[in-house]
Each structure stands twice: as structure tokens, then as C-alpha cells.
Structure 1
Amino acid sequence: MSQASISGFTFIRNGVELGFPFEASIRSLLPLVDEFVVVVGQSNDDTLARVKAIDSSKVRIIETIWNERMADRGFVYAQQKMIAQYACTGDWAFYLEGDELVHEAELANIRASVDQHHANPAVEALVFDYFHFYGTPEFVANSPAWYRRECRLIRNTIRSYAPDGQYWLITSDHKKPRNPQAALANAHIYHYGWVRSNEAMQKKLDQVSKFWSHGAPVVRYSQFDAQVLQPFNGTHPVLVKPWLESSAEKSFTIDPAYKLTKREKRHRLLMKLEKAFGLDFSRKHFKLVA
């Protein structure tokens, strides 16, 4: 029996201007996939040229123009995500955002998980553990506010769609959409969005906010709950290291005078309950079945 095929896909716009490590992101997945579909929105920088410069016959580019009037809860991101997914031809489709990477040491684990579950139709998606780096690449954020696991690899033979850029819903037999049934991928997603320069993050949120019909918050990495941060003791993917050197924040200090928001106070309480009772209150867009 032949191996299940895997398509990688993503979308990106103004990736250089907004500080995305999108080139490293795409390259990190290329050894695993049979093709990689990249939807590139019309940009103000050389994002398209940089994607074209990735030297791989697996990369297939679709150019788009975003609907600037679509300001309903980030649905434009869902539109771009699904343009890319609908162009995928593999048995499975692997979605990787422009600030996410997979580690070269875990590619074999992902392949093994696909092979293990491909023959079981009850498993519709694979779930990855997350490293959300914050402030600098030396720290990760870990609290109920940060999703600890998420689906990033889904069967490309079932009816799925994205209500926004982050997650999928499954539709079948005209029933109410539901979360995918999933198994663990036994691998991590390395999420670097919150270690890009503070200036680049502010530009990103300024652009994102108009698609959510609200004003952009002012970003200061120092304004954060220190109890959420944990030291990162692992290794970073090799491909992201040049970006970390050139574009990531090198240091930051939590403001000792920072006052927690009501939301952060609630999350502190939930963290205490998690620790005491072995619970996990972070949001989940899947149901583990294997």
C-alpha cells in the first residue's frame, strides 16, 4: 500500500513588512509534504518575490486580492485559508501559519502519525502541542489564554471549512458543524508571532484590526503577567535561527508596576485549579478519539 500523500498550505500578505518568518515556515514543512500551496495576497513589499525564490518544485503559488470590506470577525483570513486548502490535492492537508514552524527533529513523528491513523476514518485530524514564544525566543507563554493544542493536519477527503484562520469545522449529512475527531501528532508547532519586534507586532495588529471591526491595541511586551511565562529549554528549528538573529526581540523585562487585567486575574485562578487537579482549561477545537 502506498503512503498517504500530504499537501502543505498557507496564506500570507505583507509578510516582510509585518515581520513573519514565512520563508522559514514554508521550508520547514517541505521535506514532509508532496506539494505546498501558498496563497499570496497582493502586498506592499516583496513577499511574493521571496516566496517565488524558494527553490522547490513542490511550491505552488496562487495570487489573490483580499476583500478589504470583509470586516466580520476575521473572516477574510478564513477565505484565504480555504482558497489554499481547496487547491490541495493530497490525502491530508497540513496548514501552517506564516509565523509557525515544525522542527526538523519531529518530521518523522508526524509522518508516523499519518501512517498510523490513515486507515482509520474515525481520525479526521491530527493535533499538535504548541510552543507559544513570547517576548524573546527564551520564553513560552503557558496559560488557559493560550491554546496548548490545535489541529494543523486534516484529511483532505472530508467536508471541512474554517470559520476563521485558526481552526476547522466538519460538516456532514447537513448536520450542525462540529469539531474534528482527532489523534495526537506527537509533535509541536513552534509559534514565533509574539517574538517579532515590538514595532512589527504593532504594525501587524494595526492591519489585522480592520478585519475584526475594532481598533488595534497598543502592544508593549513588558505589559504582561509574568506568571504565564516559562523558560524554554529545548532547541529551535534550524531554519528559523537566521530570522531569530535578524528580526526577533533579543530581550525584554516585565514591568514590575504592571497591573493585571480582570481576564488575567481569572486565568491565574484557572492556572491554580489546573495545577491542583490536573485540568486543562485552554480552548480546544477538536475531540480526541485515538
Structure 2
Amino acid sequence: MRRGLDHAVHLVRDLDAAGEIYDLLGFTVGSRNQHPWGTHNRIVQTPGFFIELLQVAEPAKIPPHDGAFFSFGAFCKEHLAKRGEGLAMLVLEGSDPAAEKAAFDAAGAGGFDLFDFSRQARKPDGVEVEVGFSLAFARDPVPSDMGFFTCKQRKPENFWSPQMQRHANGVTGVLGVVLVADSPADHVSFIDTFSDCSPRRATEAWYVTQTPRGAIDIMTPALFTERYGVPAPAGEGLRFAAIRFTTPGAADLRRGLMARRMIEEQIEGIAVVPPRAALGATLVFERTEEAPSA
């Protein structure tokens, strides 16, 4: 079943400082949540997609990888130590975790146990509720510097909040994510398996996968820098470079971010927040036309 974008994990060292930066960027940022294995997060929601700002807050609680057990906390701890702050994991929307695991295993892109967990969350009105998730992990057969899994919400009514999806920057949704690789063609088969959507070759240096929610672009680091005017993350295999958002107010947002010295590049129709200003991530805001009123 074709899988759309669900969320992105943005690893940071100081969760409250990261929340302040996203607030300066005009996002509504959720309160702090805790995982039972020692990571804490704060959530930035758009319809059907969110950014998970994540800190390794209690490293002593994090279990190690063990055979088929994929330790989410250990991956984040290792990635932060090796690569520093930035986008680290791409998550697609899950619907049948067992079937997704079976598909990943059959393609040589799995081998991990399913993982279910719950945690407490606080709604905008302050009421505490339980949220739950079922995860199916995947891995790129070509060694890559990012993680992948699908996520099925077990209590979506407790997680999604229209109030938390209203942002001062006017963002109305996610347009896509941008991954970089020295040889994009080497990763096309994996992205096909992971998303169940066929990548399309735009150029030798660029492949586009259109999912039910947002696009997954894979391009060379050189093309990424040419298009967005900022450096691509270094590393091996696939690297998670950027998230693209849609907003009718990109021009006003760009002026405001320039005043705060959070962007430098002048690219027609978009505002690009570089890694130096967004804790290792590149955030792209693209202009869209507002829908006509009924």
C-alpha cells in the first residue's frame, strides 16, 4: 500500500532551545514529552505530518541494539555523536505494520522486530491523554546515514490537533523532503520498497517519488546546493537534507527571517533556512496560492 510522509526526526542537543528556534521560525511548538527509553521530544504538526524535535535526555535509560531489536534511542544517540544535530530519520505513514515488515524483509530491507509503545501527551487545553504507535523499521541495503520506519497511530484522535497546526508563518502543510546521495540511482530500489511508490528519474542527478502525502526527492549534493544555496550534509549513502513546506506567505516570511538574520540566500519564491540557523537542518518554505473562498 502506497505510504505518504508521516514525520521527520530532527535530533537536537537542547530541546528547549530547539523549540525557541522553531518558534522564531513561526511554528507552533508542542510541550515536552518523554519516552520510556530516555529520549524526550516536542512536536511541530502540520495536517498529517509532523516534525519530531528529539533530545537524548536520559542516556542511561537507552537500551542497546540487540539482534532484530532496533533501539530507536540507541540510533539517535549514535547518530548525534557521529553526525551532530540535524535531520536523522524519515518516517512514512503505516497502516499494517506486519505487512510492512514482511515487505521490507522480503526485499532485503528489513530484518527488525515490530515495535509498539505508548506515552503520555498533553493536549492544548492541558489535559493529559495516552498516545500509541506501532513501528516497522527498514534499512537501506546501501549503508546510509539516516534511519527509516513506518508509523501507525493507534490513538490518532489523541495525537492530532487542529489548534497545533495553526502557525504564524502561514505554513499549511508539507510539500516533501529532500535526501542527498552521491549516487541517487543506488537508492531508488530501496525508496520504492519503503514507500511502495515508484521513483521517477528527473535527471541523472535527481529522482522524485510522489507519495500520497508529499514528495521524496533524492539528488546529488551538488544539485542540492545549486537549487537551495546551502551546503548538503556530508556522510555515507542517503542523508536527510531538507524539509519543504507550503505557505502562501513565503515572501513575508522571507523578509521576517532576513531581519532576524536566519536566512541569507535570495531565491525567487522560496525562503531557505540554512543548517547554521536551524540546528543542522535545512527548512524550505515555498510560495503557494491561497485557495479561493467558497
TM superposition score normalised by structure 1: 0.26
Structure that is richer in strand per residue = 2
TM superposition score normalised by structure 2: 0.26
If asked which structure has higher relative contact order (CA below 8 Å, sep 6+), I would say 1
